Amino acid sequence: MRGSDRGSAPRPGFNLAERAESLYPVTMDSAVQSGSADEELFASIAATPIASVITDPRRPDNPIVAVNRAFCELTGYREEEIVGRNCRFLAGPDTEPEARALLRDAVRDGRPTLARMLNYRKDGSAFRNAVMIAPVFGPAGGIAYFIGSQMETGEGEVDLEARRREAAGRVAALTPRQRQVLAHMIAGYRNKQTAGFLGIDEKTVKMHRAALLTKLGIASSAEAIRIGVEAGLEISGAG
Ligand SMILES: Cc1cc2nc3c(=O)[nH]c(=O)nc-3n(C[C@H](O)[C@H](O)[C@H](O)COP(=O)(O)O)c2cc1C
């Protein structure tokens, strides 16, 4: 039976079948195995209403390997015009070099970060983009992917600060254990690795992860990571 009903089995943390209408058929890397942590990662960007991408830093120039519908709607590009390119294709003449440098350094160092920058849609119109990026480790260690999300923001600092406060409030409502698990997700660790760091079993990590998504009122890890990064959550301060 296994293999013949691929994709239809419910998995903890998200329910693809129920949300099918809002999903973009995210292109899977051919190396991604059904039921694997990678498949869960790809499904998590399909399940979020926030524009999101996954990039593969093991390939030359860290190309986008998956994109969701919200990203296409925000930028005006179709999926086939996006996959295979580095995310800098959204930058243009008035994109702030400091913001680019911030992202470049975070990619080099494998850390999560948030940068606000001017980006351009396919039709040439500019928008203020609050970009969040975070690493995702592979099972053997080493960064296998980056996850990124893009959000259009206003001109002033005001709404970013409001988002930061709101995110901090939502993170503060989590239990200390849930905050620790979220901090490890932001740092890129998979459930198994997090279990090792926290000295608990993987099943318990999964349970905390599902509970924190419920508490945050969201359906995907990708969105939880964005909220945690906006709130400035870090492993050292997670307790
Ligand atoms: C997951 C991810 C998402 C990114 N999203 C954007 C984006 O939305 N807009 C943008 O201008 N750059 C984005 N970047 C940054 C660029 O890919 C690149 O790292 C940045 O332009 C700095 O490198 P460069 O100076 O070689 O262009 C993203 C990077 C990653 C890893």
Question: Considering only CA atoms, which residue is closest to atom 23 of ligand 1?
Answer: 104
Q: Is the pLDDT of residue 212 over 70?
A: yes
Task: Indicate if ligand 1 lies below 6 Å from the C-beta of 148.
Answer: yes
- Alpha carbon nearest to ligand 1 atom 27, residue: 88
Judged against a pLDDT cut of 70, whether residue 13 lies above it is answered with: no
* Ligand 1 atom closest to the CA of 101, numbered from 1: 22
Return the amino acid letter for 227: I
Residue 236, pLDDT score? 67
| CATH no. of 20-237 | 3.30.450.20
C-alpha torsion sign, points 55, 58, 61, 63: negative
Most confident among 39-48, 95-104, 132-141 (mean pLDDT): 95-104
B/e letters for 182-212, b = 16+ CB within 10 Å, e = fewer, are bbbbbbbbbbebbbeebebeeeebbebbeeb
SS3 state at 19: coil
Domain ranges of the chain: 20-237
